[in-house]
Chains A and B, each alone.
Chain A
Amino acid sequence: MPLITNSNIIAGATNYSYVGPAQYGGVMFPRGQILFSNTNTQNQLYLSSNAYTNAGGVFAYRNSSQPATYIGQDNGGISMGVAGNGTADGVISWTTALSLSTNGVKFQNGATSLNYYEEGSWTPQLYAGATAFTMGGINAGRYVRIGKQVTVNGHIQWSAGSGSGMVRISGLPFACTGVRSAGSIGAVSYGISFNSGYNYWVLVIDPGADFIYIIQGDSSGGGYSHTPPVGTSGIIYGFSITYFLL
């Protein structure tokens, strides 16, 4: 079997004392730097630092003065492991810092995999009751979805329309399938105002909704209302809300 001597590269079975899984056929850098192996159960690939395999194919420390790390492929997944200092040649107790599988990305301290990231745009559409206002040129929205969390923001300009009733912003990038969430408005330039007794704005998304309510509230405890008066044109400079999906 061809090999490079001085125990640097070994192909297949050799007399090197730390061949490990490579005995089933493969190429090994026996100081634990790179290992491609074909065990009797699966193909494996390890890229490691300060680690090598013993006769049983288990990672062991090469040097007690340094921590060890590895990137490994195993059973269709990719994992990155770390281990602190330890006893030279002792079995390494790896901590999986990051793993990648068909379920997504999983971090060391998390129990849930992250399987979704997306960013893009959406078009806010203002309604008062059944009236869809004509939206203006600076009307725009952006979104970021990270896992089941969606954050949307934007600004609203409307230039024509007349209506009353529940005021809402439609056009969300995702429907809210989680619990009710609240957000905030930056600044109302003009076009929407408080009824008597109300003095602050809040945005709310209900479960199952694909729109945001613009709600006027009373900071003195007088309740809230979904029906602030809306003018035929107006601008809201900035709003943001984060909500969740099931």
Chain B
Amino acid sequence: MSLTEITKVDQIEITENNQIQVRTATIILKDDVELTRTFHRHVLSQGDDITNEDSKVIAIANAIWV
């Protein structure tokens, strides 16, 4: 039996004000079968530091924050 924890950005939304809503999922797998999935969220507005964000979030921010 092996337990694995995966964290990934599983949802990215853009509001009409060009804010980026990011959902990060933490997934616990037992022998590659998902046991639990919990969410953490944050919102990025234009001007926020995106240095440590997911690469997809950075790409979106660079595209819409012009």
Binding site for B on A (CB under 8 A): 118-123, 143, 171-175, 177, 208, 210
Contacts of A123 in B (CB 8 A): 40, 42
Q: CB within 8 A of B41: which of A174, A177, A208?
A: A174
Contacts of A173 in B (CB 8 A): 21, 41-43
CA distance A143 to B16 in the complex (A): 22
Establish whether residues A208 and B42, one from each chain, have CB atoms under 8 Å apart when the complex forms: no
Establish whether residues B15 and A175, one from each chain, have CB atoms under 8 Å apart when the complex forms: yes
CA distance A141 to B23 in the complex (A): 14
Q: Which of B3-51 contact A (CB under 8 A)?
A: 15-17, 19, 21, 23, 38-45
Establish whether residues A122 and B17, one from each chain, have CB atoms under 8 Å apart when the complex forms: no
Q: CB within 8 A of A172: which of B16, B17, B23, B43?
A: B43
Q: CB within 8 A of A210: which of B19, B23, B39?
A: B19
The minimal Cβ–Cβ distance linking B51 to chain A, given in whole angstroms, is 14
Contacts of A210 in B (CB 8 A): 19, 43-45
Establish whether residues B15 and A177, one from each chain, have CB atoms under 8 Å apart when the complex forms: yes
The minimal Cβ–Cβ distance linking A138 to chain B, given in whole angstroms, is 17
Establish whether residues B43 and A121, one from each chain, have CB atoms under 8 Å apart when the complex forms: no
- Which of A121, A143, A171: most chain B Cβ within 10 A? A121
Q: List 16 A-B contacts (CB under 8 A).
A: A119-B39, A120-B38, A120-B39, A120-B41, A121-B38, A121-B39, A123-B40, A143-B41, A173-B21, A173-B42, A173-B43, A174-B21, A175-B15, A175-B43, A177-B15, A210-B44
The minimal Cβ–Cβ distance linking B65 to chain A, given in whole angstroms, is 14
In this complex, what residue of A is CB-closest to B39?
A: A120
The minimal Cβ–Cβ distance linking B43 to chain A, given in whole angstroms, is 4
In this complex, what residue of B is CB-closest to A208?
A: B17
In this complex, what residue of A is CB-closest to B40?
A: A121
Contacts of B21 in A (CB 8 A): 173-175
